[in-house]
């Protein structure tokens, strides 16, 4: 039996300070770790696992992107178009790999897991961090210290 290892640990440095987004990012890392934990080198096993989880994972990612995009539109974030393009490109890349996989192309689960891990972590650090910073700039700080965005902030 293989040992379960957490390959990516959530760190506060990944936190953007927006609760819903942080929770979704944690969920993405849970999936990344699940992928690593199913790397066995046995392609037949890896294929069965991948087939079972990938569609739900894509759905999760799409919902996450939609949450961010709604937030960016709502706050009139100037980097929205560029950011959305990054989301769309990533989704297309993943959907294409899944199509290739379903057409019988060789799957190396470890490679896919690294690709996902690297993309998610760098996207959080370099792209998501930008709207989070903008969000903090325009948000109103309530007396309890919490940040909220009202219509007045984005008018
Ligand atoms: Fe994100
Ligand atoms: Fe994003």
Q: For residue 128, what pLDDT is reported?
A: 98
What's the CA-to-centroid distance between 25 and ligand 2, angstroms?
10
Give a three-class secondary structure readout of 121-140. HHHHHHHHHHHHHHHHHHCE
* Least trusted range by pLDDT, from 14-18, 47-51, 57-61, 78-82: 14-18
Q: What distance in Å separates the CA atoms of residue 110 and residue 40, rounded to the nearest whole number?
A: 9
Q: Are 21 and 72 a contacting pair, CB within 8 Å?
A: no
What's the CA-to-centroid distance between 64 and ligand 1, angstroms?
7
* Least trusted range by pLDDT, from 86-100, 104-118, 139-153: 139-153
Asked whether residue 49 carries a pLDDT value surpassing 80, the answer given is yes
What's the CA-to-centroid distance between 104 and ligand 1, angstroms?
30
Instruction: Tell me which range, 2-11, 48-57, 137-146, is most confidently predicted by mean pLDDT.
Output: 48-57
Asked whether residue 138 carries a pLDDT value surpassing 90, the answer given is no
What's the CA-to-centroid distance between 1 and ligand 1, angstroms?
33
CA angle 89, 28, 43 (to 5 degrees): 80
What's the CA-to-centroid distance between 122 and ligand 1, angstroms?
10
The whole-number average pLDDT for the span 118-143 is 90
Ligand at minimal distance from the CA of 126 is 2
What's the CA-to-centroid distance between 109 and ligand 2, angstroms?
24
Residue 23: helix, strand or coil by DSSP? helix
What's the CA-to-centroid distance between 93 and ligand 1, angstroms?
16
Give a three-class secondary structure readout of 49-102. HHHHHHHHHHHHHHHHHHHHHHHHHHCCCCCHHHHHHHHHHHHHHHHHHHHHHH
Asked whether residue 6 carries a pLDDT value surpassing 70, the answer given is yes
Ligand at minimal distance from the CA of 121 is 1
What's the CA-to-centroid distance between 140 and ligand 1, angstroms?
22
CATH architecture of 17-154: Up-down Bundle (1.20)
- The residue to which tokens 């950011």 are assigned: 83
Query: How much of the chain exceeds pLDDT 90, in percent?
Result: 79
* Domain boundaries defined on the chain: 17-154
The whole-number average pLDDT for the span 69-89 is 96
CA 149 to chain centre: 23
């Amino acid at each position: 039996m293989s040992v379960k290892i957490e390959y990516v640990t959530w760190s506060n440095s990944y936190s953007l300070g927006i609760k819903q987004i942080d929770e979704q990012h944690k969920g993405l890392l849970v999936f990344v770790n699940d992928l690593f934990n199913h790397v066995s080198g046995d392609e037949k096993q890896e294929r069965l696992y991948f087939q079972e989880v990938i569609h739900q994972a894509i759905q999760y990612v799409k919902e996450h992107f939609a949450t961010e995009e709604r937030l960016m539109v709502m706050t009139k974030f100037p980097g929205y178009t560029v950011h959305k393009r990054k989301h769309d490109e990533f989704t297309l890349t993943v959907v294409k790999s899944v199509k290739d996989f379903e057409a019988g192309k060789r799957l190396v689960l470890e490679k896919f897991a690294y690709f996902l891990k690297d993309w998610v972590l760098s996207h959080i650090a370099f792209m998501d961090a930008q709207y989070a910073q903008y969000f903090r700039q325009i948000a109103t700080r309530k007396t309890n210290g919490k940040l909220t965005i009202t219509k007045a902030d984005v008018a």
